[in-house]
Structures are given as C-alpha cells and as structure tokens.
Amino acid sequence: MTKPRVLVARKVFPEVVERLRAHFEVEDNADDTIHPREQLLARLQGKSGALITGSERIDAALLDACPQLRAVCNMAVGYNNIDVAACSARKVMATNTPGVLTETTADLGFALMMAAARRITEGERYLRAGRWDRWSYDMFVAPDVHGSTLGILGMGRIGQAIARRGALGFGMKVLYHNRSRLEPALEAPLGARWVDKGTLLRESDHLVLVLPYSGETHHTIGAAELALMKRGATLTNIARGGLVDEEALARALRSGSLAAAGLDVFEGEPKVNPALLALDNVALTPHIGSASLATRRAMADLAADNLIAALGFGPQAGRPPSLLNPEVLG
C-alpha cells in the first residue's frame, strides 16, 4: 500500500520526522528554508497532511489550491495563522498544541514582565556600553514587582500559570479579564478577581497579555486603552503582536506614561518596529515563549500525534488529540 504524502513545513526534531516516516512519505525541510507562499503551495501539492508552524498561513485560497489536503497540524497553541472555518468548510482537520507549552511560556512571560519592570535589559545595555562609573541611590530605580497588582488579559492555561507565579511566588494581587469567569475553585487559591477590561487597565501595575489573536482582538490595546493605564505601569505581551497598536505603545513609552514594556511578539515579526527599537524602556525577545528544548520536543510530538491520528493511523486514528474543528468528524 502506498503511504500518504505529508509535508513537514519547517525543520523539526529528526526523531519526530522519523516517527512520521513510519506512516507517511515525508517531504521535510532539513535546511529550514522559509518558503514564500507560492513555493509552499507547490510543496503542498499531492500532500494529504502538513505539519506547520506559525510561519505558514493556511487560508481558503490555499486550501482550494490543495484539494488533497486533509489535515493541517500546527506546532503552536495559537492558531491565528489557520482559517479554521475555511478548513471546516472543506472537511480539513486543523489541530494545535495546547497544554504542553503552558509552564514554559508562563516562565518567559513572568521573566519578561520582571525584566521590563526592573529595567534589567536597559541596565545591561548601560553597563556593556561602559557607562557605569558609580553607584547612586536612584540609579535604575523602578517599580516593585512583589506585592504589586498583576493584571492578566486572557485567563486561559498560560494566564492562570502566570497568575500562580505572581500570587504564590511574589505576593501579587491578581486581577484578570476574560470572556468567561474562572470557576471559584480556580480563582480562590490565587485570590484572583475577575474585573471588566477598563478596571483591569486602570488598576494593574503590571499588565500581561495572554489572549488569542483574531480579527476581534486586533489592537485590543491601543491609544485609548494605554491612556487608561496607571502612570508608571508596565505592559508585557507574549501572545501575538497584533494585539497591541505598536505606534501607540511607543508613544506611551516615550512620554513616560507607561514605565516599560516587555515584548516577545511583534506585529510584523521577525521585523521589529523601529520606534520600539529606539526606546530603552522596552525588554525585547524574539518570540521565544515556548523555547525550551523539552517543550519544543513535546510540541513537535503532539503535532505529529495529531497528524498521524488525523490521517487514520496510530492508537487515536481518526480522533486527533487536539482537534480544533471537531465538526469535521460528523
């Protein structure tokens, strides 16, 4: 029997590619070349499934040009790169990798929030530039993290893991805003309180964005929202760049109304807005929220499990563990 053909769009662990080869004829990308859309389309021809990352955009036009495609399996929890409704309309399974990256991403979010608040990367640049010649009482003074108010916009798994770090490790008061409220049993141990978005903006000392990105959440933090924030507050974004109007953010940081920002994601990444690069009070990392070796391996394994199951193989044949559009099963 001929094996179905699949594409592994970006370089992943060789062991994971080998697992896929047990079931499929695999076209992989060991050089990790970034394929422009036309080339991605060409590589997808005749493929039944694809293991993709956030860099590959799957939309209706692409699906129409690849009628053999049955499954697109993202190696990411966020799936704004996939038009799930378009997949469902064509009975293509779409999957993501929730759960396995929660703690690693929360670690990075907390670290970035602390780096921004305590001016860590700004201080390092100052030191490396040879500008440190004396101690002074107000050098790099900054807002405290411990005991302050942590605001979380988007209280899913990662939001809750950040809340845990803040409440249990740093004695922070936790406020959050989310479409739905957590069960009291989840709120209570964190002392977490649901508030409306305006209250969250007005009362947080350190606001962290952990909500999914979509057309509805585009620029959910813009000039009006930044104007509501406390003078001297910080903003950290580990979700998607498009959640924040970067021009408005740069203005708030330049004026000092916002003390600092911590950013792991950007609107045009891997390009970064020059207005942000020009500022000292921003801690920047290159979209590395889930970047621990163990977590990346778990993400690749889960994406592979999804692909194997979606195309009818393995113990979960026909039932991928993290299917985003279960309606295709009917």
Q: Minimum distance between the CB of residue 64 and ligand 8YV, rounded to whole angstroms?
A: 24
Q: Which of 218, 269, 297, 319 is catalytic?
A: 269
Q: Minimum distance between the CB of residue 299 and ligand 8YV, rounded to whole angstroms?
A: 7
* C-alpha to C-alpha distance for 76 and 97, rounded to whole angstroms: 5
| Residue 268 neighbours by CB distance under 10 Å | 10
Question: Using the rule CB under 6 A, is 154 a contact of ligand 8YV?
Answer: no
Question: Using the rule CB under 6 A, is 314 a contact of ligand 8YV?
Answer: no
Question: Using the rule CB under 6 A, is 290 a contact of ligand 8YV?
Answer: yes
Concerning whether 146 is annotated as a catalytic residue, the answer is: no
Residue among 233 and 304 whose Cβ is closer to ligand 8YV: 304
CB 201 within 8 A of CB 228: yes
Residue 54 phi/psi, 5-degree rounding, is -60, -15
Q: Map the footprint of ligand 8YV across residues 99-128, applying CB under 6 A.
A: 101
Question: Using the rule CB under 6 A, is 98 a contact of ligand 8YV?
Answer: no
Concerning whether 287 is annotated as a catalytic residue, the answer is: yes
Which whole-number Å values give the CA distances from 256 to 16, 213, 232, 244, 252, in the listed order?
47, 27, 7, 17, 6
Concerning whether 269 is annotated as a catalytic residue, the answer is: yes
- CA 201 to chain centroid, in Å, comes to 21
* C-alpha to C-alpha distance for 15 and 76, rounded to whole angstroms: 18
159 burial (CB, 10 Å; 0-12 / 13-18 / 19+) is buried
Tell me the one-letter amino acid at 302.
L
189 burial (CB, 10 Å; 0-12 / 13-18 / 19+) is exposed
Q: Minimum distance between the CB of residue 40 and ligand 8YV, rounded to whole angstroms?
A: 15
Residue among 76 and 323 whose Cβ is closer to ligand 8YV: 76
Residue among 96 and 148 whose Cβ is closer to ligand 8YV: 96
**Residue choice 4, 54, 109, 242 for contact with ligand 8YV (CB under 6 A):** 54
Question: Using the rule CB under 6 A, is 242 a contact of ligand 8YV?
Answer: no
Only one of the segments 41-49, 76-84, 179-187, 203-211 lies at the binding site for ligand 8YV (rule: CB under 6 A); that segment is 76-84
Question: Using the rule CB under 6 A, is 75 a contact of ligand 8YV?
Answer: yes
End-to-end CA distance of the chain: 27
Q: Minimum distance between the CB of residue 76 and ligand 8YV, rounded to whole angstroms?
A: 3
* C-alpha to C-alpha distance for 25 and 235, rounded to whole angstroms: 46
* C-alpha to C-alpha distance for 90 and 84, rounded to whole angstroms: 10
Q: Which of 19, 119, 165, 240 is catalytic?
A: 240
Number of residues that bind ligand 8YV (CB under 6 A): 9
**Residue choice 20, 66, 76, 208 for contact with ligand 8YV (CB under 6 A):** 76
Phi-psi region of 46 (alpha: psi -120 to 50; beta: other; left: phi over 0): left
**Residue choice 13, 25, 53, 195 for contact with ligand 8YV (CB under 6 A):** 53
Active site positions, annotated: 240, 269, 287
Question: Which positions touch ligand 8YV (CB under 6 A)?
Answer: 53-54, 75-78, 101, 289-290
